[in-house]
Structure 1
């Protein structure tokens, strides 16, 4: 019997070797399953450019997926062929591309942000206030570690953001004391768990081997830990993970509805609002690009289109 790992197991091993997230692992494997099912369970080695192009074209034409979804499928297939199977195909010339949307981001006004936050309390209020006050992404707040909050400098160090990049953003002074109080509660819970023999967290990359005791140290704990313990899908270890982002999303959705706001706002809207309000207050565009971690200044420039006081303020005739 052939002892070689199955295709998806090979893919998972290589994804973990490259330190991709568990989300990327699940999504990439799911796309590989879909292309195999699409071609009636043929092995990817037996497929070529025409089969892969047919699958990606079907996504755009029949399933009408967004451009980002099609690009995600493409990235998964490129990883499979180039990294796992070591096959380089001259393909994609005839793929029908999904039309890329040119929608402007949803942005809340300062008053709307205030009304939404007033409908929240406790941990949900603090997480959403940080989203608005720092410009961090939802998962960046959820994965925030205690050691990366610098109260003395008024900064938050965002580790392994989009594109595996670190950056520094501002810690709002108004959130300093509430965050200290929250960490006091989290530390008391952590100390209680240490007494029971638990209290360890997942560590990225090979840090668990390099620093065997770090997983129990206070600095490595999540700022927003989960309510209960869970099983690590990779190691099988039972430990406390970070807060479930779906809990934040559900709470924010309820708050938006309670505030009487009809905009299709999500927690990510607070990130757009952070950057837009900085532009409206007169901050230079390079600073606004750096704090939320926009890879390209074009992403920041888009927000000037929804800003009331950007670099090209326009007054409507009746307002003159």
Structure 2
């Protein structure tokens, strides 16, 4: 039985997995590549180039009012498509309208506010938030913890399948 050639997004998925990127990165890249293709009426990316990328990124900034980090995420997804999947070098003179960087400072809770918030939680939710706050774990790291990862004798947690795919040990007190 003859196999059909892989569709473009399947090729993207294979390239991402070959590089051992996280599942979240895979979903994000595929999302932005799909948006890029749909924005240009389903034209194949090999028939497009810098001008189309520029038009898409400008549209995101001007009409959808996305944050600068979101626009950068879209750009890097598309660059991955061209460099790693289509094996095309792009003229990197992409002169899109850039999204404005946020001028707002993040809101940071005081220790007392954090403890008051934690006190309003209970059960598994409270335990998870205490772990995240006390150890510096990322949300996905906390959610994927197993009992065998916690060493009460040495006050340490083994974090597996982390961002960057490197396990690490974190101490707590």
**Aligned residue for 2:82?**
81
**Aligned residue for 2:158?**
157
Decide whether aligned partners of structure 1 residues 115 and 152 sit closer, same or farther in structure 2, where only a CA change above 3 A counts.
same
**Aligned residue for 2:121?**
120
* Shift of residue 144, structure 1, vs aligned partner: 2.1
Tell me the SS of whatever aligns to 1:104. Answer: coil
**Aligned residue for 1:17?**
18
* Shift of residue 102, structure 1, vs aligned partner: 4.2
Instruction: Output the TM-score relative to the length of structure 1.
Output: 0.50
Cα separation, 2, equivalents of 1:163 and 1:105: 25
Decide whether aligned partners of structure 1 residues 161 and 100 sit closer, same or farther in structure 2, where only a CA change above 3 A counts.
farther
Cα separation, 1, equivalents of 2:8 and 2:135: 41
Please provide the CA RMSD for this pair.
Answer: 2.0
Cα separation, 2, equivalents of 1:58 and 1:82: 22
* Shift of residue 133, structure 1, vs aligned partner: 0.9
**Aligned residue for 1:110?**
111
**Aligned residue for 1:7?**
8
* Shift of residue 154, structure 1, vs aligned partner: 1.1
Decide whether aligned partners of structure 1 residues 155 and 102 sit closer, same or farther in structure 2, where only a CA change above 3 A counts.
farther
Tell me the SS of whatever aligns to 1:157. Answer: strand
Alignment of 1:29-48 (within 5 A): 29-48=30-49
Decide whether aligned partners of structure 1 residues 100 and 9 sit closer, same or farther in structure 2, where only a CA change above 3 A counts.
same
Tell me the SS of whatever aligns to 1:169. Answer: strand
- Any gaps of 5 or more consecutive residues in structure 1? 173-320
Cα separation, 2, equivalents of 1:161 and 1:2: 35
Cα separation, 1, equivalents of 2:137 and 2:3: 47
- Per-residue CA deviations over 1:283-304 (Å, capped at 9, x if unaligned) read xxxxxxxxxxxxxxxxxxxxxx
Aligned residues: 172
Instruction: Output the TM-score relative to the length of structure 2.
Output: 0.88
* Shift of residue 146, structure 1, vs aligned partner: 3.4
Q: Is this contact kept in 1: 2:22–2:163, CA < 8 A?
A: no
Alignment of 1:78-227 (within 5 A): 78-172=79-173
- Give the greater-gyration-radius structure (CA): 1
* Shift of residue 28, structure 1, vs aligned partner: 1.2
**Aligned residue for 1:61?**
62
- Per-residue CA deviations over 1:71-127 (Å, capped at 9, x if unaligned) read 111111011111111111022441222122243332222221221111111100100
- Per-residue CA deviations over 1:225-264 (Å, capped at 9, x if unaligned) read xxxxxxxxxxxxxxxxxxxxxxxxxxxxxxxxxxxxxxxx
* Shift of residue 29, structure 1, vs aligned partner: 1.2
Cα separation, 2, equivalents of 1:108 and 1:58: 35
